[in-house]
Amino acid sequence: MKPRAARWFLAASALLAVAPAAAQVAPDDAGAAAPPTEADAARESARAHFQRGVGYIEAERWADAITELRAAQELRVTASVMYNLGLAYRAVGRNREAMAAFREFTRLSGAATNPEIAARVDAYTRELGAGLARIALEIEPPTARVVIDGAAARANESVEVDPGRHVVLAEAEGFASETRTVEVARGAQTRVVLRMVPSVLSSRVTVRAEPPGAVVRIDGQTVGFGTVEETVRAGPHSLDVSAPGYTPLRRTFEALAGQTQTIRATLASNRGVADSPWFWVGVSAVAVGAGVAAWFLVQDLAPPYQGTLGAVTDAVHVGGWR
């Protein structure tokens, strides 16, 4: 266990109240306390999830902490829950979600926030903001439905994301689905251009590259890593595969409308090993419909950026639960 942050935070946690500390139970006509209500049960369940989440933060079991605090959040949103959730998200590199949690903490705590706590949260959010990346989307047609990592986006906008690999999916009626896997660096912006192909003109190509983390580019555009299934317009195309420590390969291929083909590309180590052959495996007349989604095998992910402030475990304890 790392030393926890200053104890002043626990004393200050009492300022995080956004609701009365305990549910009030009105007496019935006989003067006895009314039975617990459904709201009382939900509150106690939220408190239990909250307490377990705090314990997991102190043990630096971040994934378990997120699970418990999300459960508490679903039952009852408080400033204490959001602060702790921000700590846990930040520790695992989910910067965008951490920023959202800290901003919600600030909104809920309002003017009652201790200045020292406010300064700490401000430092977190500034650091997290500097650690984000952006994906600039250029999608045609602009009416396409666009999803990044399962979250809806608009066809032509710049989206804030965490550093690392992300999957962009675009679908539109009458067009073959398009997917891109992109890798964006901390503080950088990556442009994703998708010119969707009408279904009647589309062809499907699957590239199986070795090593699995090899970058695959078609017509100069990065389309994924390792194994990639891509929809292209019928006609000639260029294919480039590269990876650090390996000799890059470049080939051309012809795509036929309504057909699929698979290309296996094994990169040779640049440590004196001769180039490995490419294998073209069959062409089958399988129609490529608009509803068929491409997919990528994503692996070799970089570790999350931990920032300059270190992993912090100054969770709000029971005294801060409101």
Confidence of residue 280 (pLDDT cuts 50, 70, 90): very low
pLDDT at 284 over 60: no
pLDDT at 80 over 80: yes
Q: How many residues does the chain have?
A: 322
Together in a domain, 26 and 124? yes
How confident is the model at residue 115, as a pLDDT? Answer: 84
* pLDDT tens-digit readout, 242-253: 999 999 999 999
CATH of the domain at 119: 1.25.40.10
Strands 133-140 and 189-195: parallel
pLDDT at 10 over 60: no
How confident is the model at residue 61, as a pLDDT? Answer: 93
In a domain, 277, yes or no: yes
Mean pLDDT of 9-34: 38
- Six-digit token string for 7: 């104890």
Measured CA distances, 136 to 111, 188, 189, 191, 207 (Å): 36, 11, 7, 5, 25
In a domain, 25, yes or no: yes
Mean pLDDT of 170-187: 90
Domain range spanning residue 19? Answer: 8-131
How confident is the model at residue 322, as a pLDDT? Answer: 52
Together in a domain, 67 and 117? yes
Mean pLDDT check: name the lowest of 94-98, 122-126, 275-279, 291-295: 291-295
* pLDDT tens-digit readout, 181-229: 898 988 899 999 999 999 888 999 999 999 998 999 999 989 999 999 9
- Which of 172, 196, 220 delimits the end of a domain? 196
How confident is the model at residue 8, as a pLDDT? Answer: 33
How confident is the model at residue 33, as a pLDDT? Answer: 56
| Percentage of the chain lying above the pLDDT 70 cut | 72
Together in a domain, 119 and 137? no
Mean pLDDT check: name the lowest of 169-183, 190-204, 226-240, 288-302: 288-302
In a domain, 314, yes or no: no
pLDDT at 299 over 80: no
- Which of 162, 178, 196 delimits the end of a domain? 196
Q: What is the pTM of this model?
A: 0.55
- Six-digit token string for 295: 């997919």
Together in a domain, 15 and 125? yes
Together in a domain, 192 and 203? no
In a domain, 321, yes or no: no
- Which of 147, 167, 196 delimits the end of a domain? 196
Together in a domain, 275 and 209? yes
Together in a domain, 22 and 90? yes
* pLDDT tens-digit readout, 120-139: 899 998 888 888 899 999 99
How confident is the model at residue 172, as a pLDDT? Answer: 93
In a domain, 311, yes or no: no
Which residue type sits at 59? A
On average, the pLDDT of the chain sits at: 77
How confident is the model at residue 143, as a pLDDT? Answer: 93
Together in a domain, 225 and 284? yes
Together in a domain, 216 and 184? no
Residue pointed to by tokens 């965008």: 96
* Cα–Cα distance for residue pair 149/238, rounded to 1 Å: 27
CATH of the domain at 249: 2.60.40.1120
Together in a domain, 53 and 31? yes
Together in a domain, 288 and 256? yes
| Percentage of the chain lying above the pLDDT 90 cut | 43
In a domain, 309, yes or no: no
How confident is the model at residue 30, as a pLDDT? Answer: 47
DSSP 311: -
In a domain, 285, yes or no: yes
In a domain, 2, yes or no: no
The SS3 assignment for 183 reads strand
Together in a domain, 13 and 127? yes
pLDDT at 13 over 70: no
* Cα–Cα distance for residue pair 255/12, rounded to 1 Å: 65
- Six-digit token string for 262: 């698979």
Q: Which residue has the higher pLDDT, 107 or 277?
A: 107
Domain total for the chain? 3
Question: CA neighbours within 13 Å on the CB side: how many for 260?
Answer: 13
